[in-house]
Amino acid sequence: MVMKDPGPIYLLTGNTGKLKEIGRWLQPLGVEVRLMERTFLEAQADSLEEVILTGMEVMEKEGDIEGPFIKDDSGLFIDALGGFPGVYSAYVQRTIGNKGILDLMGDRNDRGATFRTVIGLYQPGEGITLLRGECPGAISFEERGKQGFGYDPIFIPRGEERTFAEMSVDEKNSLSHRIRAIKGLIDYLSRCSG
């Protein structure tokens, strides 16, 4: 479905890979995704929702926003670790990495974990809408696979035996938290255009 005269949506990110990925998914709607070059307050909070909402509300108060914009935030929430690394996923990946997570897990059998993505959509005059995507699964006992990035070598999506890093990009996309959130955004934008 192509939206009626949708205008561009700005994406707040330092990651041009994300710009390309989200841009490709929104293209069939006729929506152009442009890079928004602005600083975003990465708030410290217990949930992805709060991180996004706090940062977006600060921007809203600052004013001078070009048009609708989106910001996404993702994390890996491990049940046995009380949801850690969760909102700290990027920092933990940079510091202790997958080996550190496997050490923390040791040989415990309770290995449930969920990848989550929250996308915040800010529309001038309409405020903020949150779209969520999740992928439930489990932490492997060792790193496996070479594809993907971040926690992919230690995350096995539910119903699979392979880690995300052992799957092709298309296979991972069919299960991924981020793509599920993007599909939620597409549904929402399609509904908005009537």
Which among 35-43, 86-94, 106-114, 136-144 is the span making contact with ligand IMP, rule CB under 6 A?
86-94
From CA 114, how far away is CA 134, in angstroms rounded? Answer: 7
Residue 107 annotated among the catalytic residues of the structure: no
The residue number with the shortest CB distance to ligand IMP is 150
Q: Of 175, 111, 177, whose CA–CA distance to 142 is shortest?
A: 111
Q: Determine if 150 is a binding residue for ligand IMP (CB under 6 A).
A: yes
List 73, 79, 152, 170, catalytic entry: 73
Give the total of residues touching ligand IMP (CB under 6 A).
14
Nearer to ligand IMP, 74 or 140 (CB): 74
Torsion of CA 14, 101, 83, 152, to 10 degrees: 50
Rounded alpha-carbon distances, angstroms, from residue 150 to 38, 90, 98: 25, 8, 8
Q: Mark residues 30-69: x for contact with ligand IMP by CB under 6 A, - for none.
A: ----------------------------------------
What's the Rg (C-alpha) of the chain?
Answer: 17
From CA 193, how far away is CA 189, in angstroms rounded? Answer: 6
CB–CB of 156/90 below 8 Å? no
* Neighbouring-strand partners of residue 35: 11
State the minimum distance, in angstroms, from the CB of residue 63 to ligand IMP: 25
From CA 120, how far away is CA 52, in angstroms rounded? Answer: 6
> How many residues are recorded in the chain?
194
Nearer to ligand IMP, 64 or 170 (CB): 170
Which among 23-31, 34-42, 139-147, 149-157 is the span making contact with ligand IMP, rule CB under 6 A?
149-157
Which among 3-11, 29-37, 143-151, 182-190 is the span making contact with ligand IMP, rule CB under 6 A?
143-151
Residues that bind ligand IMP (CB under 6 A): 73-75, 89-90, 93, 148-152, 164, 176, 178
Known catalytic residues are: 73
